[in-house]
Structure 1
Amino acid sequence: MKRETVAEHIVDVFVYVVVLNLAAQFAPKVITETFLMSLLVAVLLKLVLEVVVLFKKRALARVGGAPTRAGKAIGVLTLVVLIPGAKFVVLWLVDVLFGDAVSLGGFWLVTGLIITLMAARAGVRWLLTKT
């Protein structure tokens, strides 16, 4: 597995800023009052999503590599809690850290935002490897 470089992390944050600002422009419930706020939220999203992806990989490895049904069940249960739970963590952290200056709308809007963030990140990384 390839280790990500600092440049890749910086590109990810910039991609997240663009997606977040587009969401703020086109989804009325997404609010970032200033560019600095959107940059800080992008950094927060980058950190949270990296941790979630790490836990998700571990849970998937547990499901695939567990010798017992109980081990596999724990891995599946971890995924069942982790996937929706991450969205609530994002909403809670944004509320605690930024208060009324930032709003990501709610669970379904955050879900769509995270899917879009991950897709945009993958697309930009793909484009950068093609050049």
Structure 2
Amino acid sequence: MTGAPTDSRSGPFRRWARGNPSDVIDVFVYVVVLNLAIEYVPSVISEGFTLSLLTAVLLKVALEVVLVVKARVVNRLHSATTPSGKVATVLLLWVVAAGSKLVVLELVDVVFGDAVSLGGFVSVTLLVIALLGARAGVRRLLLP
């Protein structure tokens, strides 16, 4: 058998636990963007910096899961051969895109209660776009 040995313990959590620099950078970027939103968007609220830091970590984990699901749906779209299969996959992609925002809102509410609020669907959608845009910009700037 050729190739690198596989480690059953490797995966996203182990990568995160080892301190992958891009993941740490992502959390720092998310903290900055989230705190700017807290300062300038009245519907985005956090009772303190520690809660905004924990919210950034929660958003990092949630958005990573969403990106994995989205990538699988996009792969399914590319492999669909019938028009009805493509339409169904596009609808599934829309459900993932819209549903992920609702999941993020509910997750933040369950974990932090009234101490943190990301506003409503529109504000969390704009926040997620800002988070992913800032993350892409900083990664492009800092990482090889």
Higher helix share: 1
Match of 2:132 in 1: 118
Match of 2:120 among 106, 113, 119: 106
| SS of aligned partner of 2:143 | helix
Displaced runs of 4+ in structure 1, greater than 4 A? none
Question: Structure 2: which 5+ residue stretches go unaligned?
Answer: 1-11
Contact 1:62–1:71 under 8 Å retained in 2:
no
1:18 paired to 2:24 = no
**CA deviations over 1:23-56 (Å, ceiling 9, x no partner):** 0000111101111100111011111111111111
Match of 2:74 in 1: 60
Range that drifts further, 69-78 or 50-59: 69-78
Match of 2:105 among 79, 87, 91: 91
Structure with bigger gyration radius: 2
Shift of 1:70: 4.2
Range that drifts further, 45-54 or 60-69: 60-69
Normalising by structure 2, we get a TM-score of 0.83
Normalising by structure 1, we get a TM-score of 0.91
Question: How much identity, in percent, do the aligned residues show?
Answer: 56
Question: Structure 1: which 5+ residue stretches go unaligned?
Answer: none
